[in-house]
Amino acid sequence: MLVLRSGLTRALAARTLAPQVCSSFATGPRQYDGTLYEFRTYYLKPSKMNEFLENTKKNIHLRTAHSELVGYWSVEFGGRMNKVFHIWKYDNFAHRTEVRKALAKDKEWQEQYLIPNLALIDKQESEITYLVPWCKPEKPPKEGIYELATFQMKPGGPALWGDPFKRAVHAHINRGYTKLVGVFHAEYGVLNRVHVLWWNESADSRAAGRHQSHEDPRVVAAGKLFH
């Protein structure tokens, strides 16, 4: 189940520096480390969804031979239907460039997977993200359902909304009904966007847990940060 920055600037410092507002949410440490995560979303033709999934299941090993796949999901409900979503991990931008070049030369990948599937896809989207510093990717304990919650934050960056948002995320975790897979802050794509990927044992346990967590004042306060 899935529910559904770009630009570089340079400024000259004044002789007298104003106090800086910092946040543990800022992705700076992750950017220095270099590791990035690419979110790829494919919107499929309704009559071709099963064909696409079967081909992916059969041939995805040709793609994972080049770089690490964090996860691959299809939408059951919430948001647009006939959509698949996958996350790829790269050491840095140079690594991603090397992988894309290698894929372009991989005839087996091109002929068995890419070319047959292109005719099944209506639209593709790509977004580059970093994990927030206080989050490490976690593997769920067993099979279940996943929720990708996407938040469009108010302009101002993590210094404005980072800490309250972190408290809200942990309010859900502390309830014990869900597991956090990762929190990703967009670097290239829509500005001020944050993705939170959750794992739940079932849709019913998720519904019950969220009903309780939304009564938590930390979650209520974080709601003021979104558009």
pLDDT of 22 higher than 50: no
State the pLDDT at residue 206.
85
Alpha carbon distance 37, 33 (integer Å): 12
Q: Higher model confidence: residue 6 or residue 60?
A: 60
Report how far residue 154's alpha carbon sits from residue 69's, in angstroms, rounded to the nearest whole number. Answer: 31
| Prediction pTM value | 0.82
Range in 5-9, 51-55, 181-185, 191-195 the model is least confident about: 5-9
**By C-alpha distance, which of 140, 170, 165, 136 is closest to 150?**
165
Higher pLDDT, 31 or 154: 154
Domain ranges of the chain: 32-128, 132-226
Instruction: Judge if 32-128 and 132-226 fold alike in CATH terms.
Output: yes
Q: Higher pLDDT residue, 130 or 77?
A: 130
pLDDT band for position 15 (50/70/90)? very low
- Where is pLDDT greater, at 34 or 11? 34
Name the least confident of 69-73, 190-194, 203-207, 223-227: 223-227
pLDDT for the residue 225: 58
- Confidence at residue 71, expressed as pLDDT on a 0 to 100 scale: 94
User: What number of CA atoms fall less than 13 Å from residue 94's CA on the CB side?
Assistant: 1
Per the CB < 8 A criterion, the answer to whether 85 and 150 are in contact is no
Q: The domain 32-128 is classified under which CATH number: 3.40.50.880, 3.40.50.300, 1.10.3720.10, 3.30.70.100? A: 3.30.70.100
The pLDDT value recorded for residue 6 is: 30
Contacts of residue 10, Cβ cutoff 8 Å, sequence gap at least 6 = none
- Residue 12 is classified by DSSP as P
How high is the pLDDT of residue 223? 61
For domain 132-226, give the CATH number. 3.30.70.100
pLDDT the model gives residue 13: 28
